[in-house]
Structure 1
Amino acid sequence: MKILPLALAQFIASYAATNMNVAISTIADDLGTTIAGVQTTITLFTLVMAALMVPGSKLTDIWGRRRCFVVGLAIYGAGALLAALAPGPGLLLVGYAVLEGVGSALMIPPIYILVTALATEKAQRARWFGMVSGAGGLGAAAGPLLGGLVTSAFSWRASFLLQVLVVAVIIVLARGLPKPQTHHQKFDLLGAVLSGAGMALIVFGLLRTTWWFALLGAAALGLFAWHIRRTENPLCNPKLFRDRTSNLGLGTQLIQWLVLQGTFFVLSVHLQQTEGLNAIETGLALLPATIGMLVTSALAGRLARKHPQNRLIRAGFLLTVAGTLLVPHGLFLIGAGIGIMLTASVNVVQSRWPDDEQADVSGVSRAVSNLGSSLGVALVGSVADQRAALMLLILFGATGFVLALFIRNDAAQPRG
């Protein structure tokens, strides 16, 4: 089945973003570093993905979809192997944050482009988007429990070796994907530098509470916006940012991943540092959220066919905010809410654009989601008090709900 390697790749990338949280204390002790050091590595992983996702989507057009997908998997697998063998925090950062981040930026954009190309019927495309997004939600949800189980039974290194094994299986399965289609065009190096630097500086500024870096990042993104409007072959088409519905969908995607990653991080640190729980106990404590995401992610495709996407996004934010208010008793609601709206937001964004724009919009969509993940860890990590961090996440969740109020019922329809 052609969707299987695509769904597995999205699963493993999402799993990698959350499984480290439950092993933070174990990794810090084993490698002789600090909680802040491990937090930085986790943040940089999603930040590298965010910074390189749009360039990765452009390389998908230049190199071909399957080739870019397989090259990304190979780099990702090499990074996971290096992280598993890392004797210190430096090589862990190179393997996990850099190589896995680069690999993800190359392999994830082709996933959504291939789904759009292979699923020609609207119903099939919605179902496949639901499967891929559900796999992403499943990976993010299973990360704490599976990561805790593997860490406690073996070691945190075994979790990276598991990723190597899964990646090898995906590469074998990828042989059934369509052969590469390439386009001869120039690569917008300046656009890649400006967009990547802008996102990196903003997240780094928040991570280190250095506002000058954040302001420089905003300026770099402003230059990027100016640049792509004036260059002949831009990194991404500037018209992607002129559609109101698509922009609203991107905004909800960013906030969903910010809340998801931020919640898992702040609760994982609290459970390990304050409650003294080990990796598997932390994973079990987060189990209600995992179950909530598993249940609603499994139903995502069916819900997307029966209900307007905007209502699903609104319902998801309401459940998530309610669950965060009730922490720790509201973990199931948090997971269920996020699981409901992940697929809906992807449908809103991807379905607004024709096939020839899917490479660009896929890169932008994934970059925004990973930027949200980076911001979630960076923001809550800079707040010392758990209650204050949760209130910050509630505020973001409420903002996401407000954005969803402006998304129309026909949001998943192509632009006229």
Structure 2
Amino acid sequence: MTDSIPQNKELTKKQKNRLVLLLCIILAFTVMNGTMFNVAIPDIAEDFDLLPSQVTWVMTGYILVFAVGALMYGKLADIYPIKRLLTIGIILFATGAAIGLFSQNYAFLLIARIIQAMGGATIPALAFIIPARFMPKERGRVFGTVSATVAFASGLGPITGGFVGGAFDWRYLFILSIISLIAIPFLRKWIPDETVRSGSVDIPGAVLLASSVAGLLFFITMFSWIGLTIFALSLTAFYLHIRKHPAPFIDLEMLKDKYYTTAVLTSFLGTSVMFGMIFIVPIMARSVYGLSTVEIGLLLFPGAMGAALVGQRGGRFVESRGSFPVLQTAFLLAVGGSFLISTFIGIPPYLLALCILVQYVAFPLIQSSTANLLTELVPKEKTGVGIGMFNLMNFMSGAISSAVFGAFLDLQNVRLQLNPVVYSDNVLIYSNLFLVISVIAAAALFLFTKQFKNRPDPLQKS
């Protein structure tokens, strides 16, 4: 006998706490899966003799499928029960991990990561929908807890990845993802029951969008004109398709809301800042400082822990002060942190870790405040689609930024110095990239402030 709760019944405090705990545990597995492999990127590149632009596909391919899946599952959540989607997702996630555990070549590894992404995309997609659907009164606080979990897991990931990869082999990192299967009986019991609702999912639209982005990424990483052609043709076909489809993969009507579109675009830019930092730092740490896999994890750890602490408070800040000032503060931290890293690359690693911390703490604030804002901007019946678009743009941002930065890292003997006060002149490629990241964060801050400054924050309490 189970005590699962029908959708139309109010959850008790105990049931809500239990559900949030389960959500955070499942989410931690997914986030750690990403950050563990970030630390292992230099080792994977050495094992398979890859350039930065090639090894980036360990992240880029995963994130691309993750991005499309995030929106797909967001749409499916408006039709099918969440517990069913999560069950299928975790099984796929663990299956991909099992394949990756035995990967002996780069192609095999990429296949494993793609299968993982097909399942893992359910988790962040639904992590922001569950609070909005089952705990609407506490959603700001829960979003903060979810964002803090993301930050904490992203900090635990590098440490775990460093120790496992350093002591054994990076393939053993997949074992932790397989363990996520343990969560299935609990989610089947604790997530409220729901009925199947009417609706449809635009699978051809999803395929066309994924093809267009994949073509763009191939062009960026390999300068393939075939990739650029695929991008142009697929994007054109996608646009013509969604104009005629009754339930398109991307809802053009929703994008006509300038506040919603600005919030999503702002999040896109903010996520590119964070993914850029997380991708570049391990490669920079190995190249500039000669750090081991374990030491790279320790370099990232203080920032991730600081982000976890700030993220825990972030939801309360949003509830009490509104999304507008919190998001502004987050982007100021991102601008400052990126500029500090750009300036002081070359100083002792323990001091550089403090610069990384400043940028890292911006991440949970951007996530929680934007997600909370979107739940106010999007009609209740379109929560899944609205949050799905948010997740799609975030992960697309991660895939594109990783590919772009990976391509630039292939450059040798860079002489151009964009930052006039850089600490060391033999790290110009990394200094320049972090200065660009700082400019991107500043652009996001300007865009958001300009659009929202004259609009009362819907989350600001009267």
Q: TM-score, normalised by structure 1?
A: 0.91
Partner in structure 2 of residue 10 of structure 1:
27
Q: 2:452, 2:430 → 1: CA distance? A: 32
Cα–Cα, structure 1 residues 401 and 141, in superposed 2: closer, same or farther, change >3 Å? farther
Partner in structure 2 of residue 58 of structure 1:
75
Say yes or no: does 1:24 pair with 2:24: no
Query: Which shifted more, 201-210 or 259-268?
Result: 201-210
Q: 2:306, 2:174 → 1: CA distance? A: 25
**Contact kept in structure 2, 1:349 and 1:412, CA below 8 Å:** no
Q: 1:411, 1:117 → 2: CA distance? A: 21
Q: 1:92, 1:216 → 2: CA distance? A: 24
CA displacement 1:234-293 (0-9 Å, x = unmatched) = 234322212112111111221222111111211210111332211111111223322331
Q: 1:223, 1:411 → 2: CA distance? A: 38
The alpha-carbon deviation at position 72 of structure 1 amounts to 0.7
Partner in structure 1 of residue 392 of structure 2:
367
Matches within 5 A, 1:300-319: 300-319=314-333
**Contact kept in structure 2, 1:19 and 1:148, CA below 8 Å:** yes
Say yes or no: does 1:115 pair with 2:138: no
Q: 1:380, 1:149 → 2: CA distance? A: 26
**Contact kept in structure 1, 2:150 and 2:308, CA below 8 Å:** no
Q: 1:312, 1:31 → 2: CA distance? A: 43
Q: 1:219, 1:412 → 2: CA distance? A: 40
Secondary structure class of the residue paired with 2:247: coil
Which one of the candidate residues 371, 378, 387 is aligned to 1:346? 371
Secondary structure class of the residue paired with 1:299: helix
CA displacement 1:110-131 (0-9 Å, x = unmatched) = 332222111132xx11112222
Q: 1:11, 1:180 → 2: CA distance? A: 25
Q: 2:136, 2:434 → 1: CA distance? A: 42
Q: 1:150, 1:317 → 2: CA distance? A: 34
Paired letter, 1:404? F
Paired letter, 1:335? Y
Query: Which shifted more, 220-229 or 145-154?
Result: 220-229
Partner in structure 1 of residue 89 of structure 2:
72
**Contact kept in structure 2, 1:72 and 1:103, CA below 8 Å:** yes
Q: Any gaps of 5 or more consecutive residues in structure 1?
A: none
Secondary structure class of the residue paired with 2:408: coil
Q: 2:443, 2:157 → 1: CA distance? A: 26
Identity among equivalent positions (%) equals 22
Which one of the candidate residues 248, 252, 255 is aligned to 1:241? 255
Partner in structure 1 of residue 160 of structure 2:
146
Secondary structure class of the residue paired with 1:182: coil
Paired letter, 2:34? A
Say yes or no: does 1:401 pair with 2:401: no
Cα–Cα, structure 1 residues 39 and 226, in superposed 2: closer, same or farther, change >3 Å? same
Paired letter, 1:179? D
Q: 2:457, 2:215 → 1: CA distance? A: 32
Paired letter, 1:84? L
Cα–Cα, structure 1 residues 407 and 201, in superposed 2: closer, same or farther, change >3 Å? farther
Secondary structure class of the residue paired with 1:286: helix
Say yes or no: does 1:200 pair with 2:214: yes
Equivalences, count: 410
Partner in structure 1 of residue 11 of structure 2:
none
Which one of the candidate residues 233, 249, 266 is aligned to 2:280? 266
Query: Which shifted more, 69-78 or 294-303?
Result: 294-303
Cα–Cα, structure 1 residues 149 and 412, in superposed 2: closer, same or farther, change >3 Å? farther
Matches within 5 A, 1:26-41: 26-31=43-48, 33-41=50-58
**Contact kept in structure 2, 1:296 and 1:336, CA below 8 Å:** yes
Q: 2:232, 2:368 → 1: CA distance? A: 29
Q: 1:237, 1:33 → 2: CA distance? A: 39
Paired letter, 2:387? S
Q: 1:340, 1:231 → 2: CA distance? A: 36
Partner in structure 2 of residue 49 of structure 1:
66
Cα–Cα, structure 1 residues 212 and 296, in superposed 2: closer, same or farther, change >3 Å? farther
Matches within 5 A, 1:275-290: 275-290=289-304
Which protein shows a greater Rg? 2
Cα–Cα, structure 1 residues 399 and 218, in superposed 2: closer, same or farther, change >3 Å? farther
Q: 1:218, 1:251 → 2: CA distance? A: 21
Secondary structure class of the residue paired with 1:277: coil
CA displacement 1:153-205 (0-9 Å, x = unmatched) = 4432232211221x123212202112243224343232222222222223332
Secondary structure class of the residue paired with 1:254: helix
Which one of the candidate residues 163, 173, 177 is aligned to 2:186? 173
Q: 2:199, 2:176 → 1: CA distance? A: 37
**Contact kept in structure 2, 1:61 and 1:181, CA below 8 Å:** no
The alpha-carbon deviation at position 225 of structure 1 amounts to 4.1
Cα–Cα, structure 1 residues 88 and 332, in superposed 2: closer, same or farther, change >3 Å? same
CA displacement 1:24-58 (0-9 Å, x = unmatched) = 22223345555443222211110111133222323
Partner in structure 1 of residue 416 of structure 2:
none
**Contact kept in structure 1, 2:318 and 2:369, CA below 8 Å:** yes
Give the superposed CA RMSD: 2.4
**Contact kept in structure 1, 2:303 and 2:356, CA below 8 Å:** yes
